[in-house]
Amino acid sequence: MEPPDLVLVRYGEVTLKDAWTRASWERILQANIAQALRDAGVEHTISRDRGRIFVHTPDPRAPSLIADVFGVVSTSPAYSVRPDLPAVSRVAVELAQSFNPSSFAIRPRRSGGSISSDSLGREVGQAVKDATSARVDLSRPEMEIFIEARPDKVLVFKDVVKGVGGLPLGSQSRMLVLISGGIDSPVAAWMMMKRGCPVSLLHFDARPYAESRAAAMEAAQVLRKWTSGRKINFITVENAPGIDRIASHHPRATCVLCRRLMYLVAAEIMKREEAYGIVTGYSLGQVASQTPENIMAEQVGTMAPVYHPLISMDKSEIMDLARKIGTYGVTQETKSCTAVPQKPMTRANLEEIRAMEEELGLKELALELARGAWVERI
């Protein structure tokens, strides 16, 4: 049997929007799919109609490639048949014979056209039964044959490839992600991309206190594969001057003040990147610094919205996602920064931290560090 000639693409949340938003997001999704296929060297044509996208290509890589585009709920490699019951039955029989099941079910769906779902189920099912001697089992069949009838064609297929879901990348505004060399922050970036946000990545180079830039850069290279052709700005800021100043004056508060400095710098970088928020890989209580008290002391008054997409996830969930994304193998458990005190603050007092910030001139230092940032296009 010849390979399927078309990929049926389904999407979810997009269909719930008003007509103008839906049309706009459908165009973005279609363009992202087309770019992902071009990047992989898959020749195709693409069209859209009645809540579905149709990618015309016999390339067997296409269903999986498309399933990894944000906004896609599922894909199916399908045979496109003229809307004629005998023609549909012939394709369904060939498909069943290639699999040779002991039991089967026909799953018809009508989205327009003159052929009813009942006719599809009854007549195609009988043709498959006669040709294969397989029994009909609607509850637990060995093989399911899906048939989707549309006004101009009928699609016949057996496989459904689960998609990544979410919203089309580019349908929401840009976010600035604080990326370390650890496991969590690339996953946080991916989660915001899944909600439609292009990302810029901000890495604080803490050498000689910590070495993580190489791992962060490798994670960025992996995230680039999920962008449907978009490049990513990888921004580096040298943070050692800030750590020097903080650790020499308030060693117990080093972690909290260092993070507060990072947010102040990020708020400046965010403006340049035309981003609308700062994203972290925080998971509540995962480490000593990620307590509610510390998070409040780090962020209040930094004049930028901060998003924590992993905040309620446990480590095993985050690691599973990192494996799925592909960043797990290039990142690592964050090694302790050598500036971390033996007994770091876990319940920072906001007013005390703000007084320390004023004393150390962290706002002025943040402006200085932000001016020294450099950008690499990935």
Q: What is the pLDDT of residues 41-97, one digit of tens each?
A: 999 999 998 789 999 999 999 999 999 999 999 999 999 999 999 999 999 999 999
Residue 11: strand, helix, or coil = strand
Q: What is the pLDDT of residues 170-217, one digit of tens each?
A: 999 999 999 998 999 999 999 999 999 999 999 999 999 988 899 999
Q: What is the CATH number of domain 6-162?
A: 3.30.2130.30
Q: Which fold has domain 175-377?
A: Rossmann fold (3.40.50)
Report which of 216, 336, 349 is spatially closest to residue 287, judged by C-alpha positions: 336
Residues ≥6 apart with Cβ < 8 Å to 161: 63, 64, 67, 74, 75, 76
Residue 258, Cβ density class (10 Å: 0-12 exposed, 13-18 middle, ≥19 buried): buried
pLDDT at 325: 96
What are the extents of the domains in the chain? 6-162, 175-377
Reported pTM: 0.93
H or E stretch at 55: strand 52-56
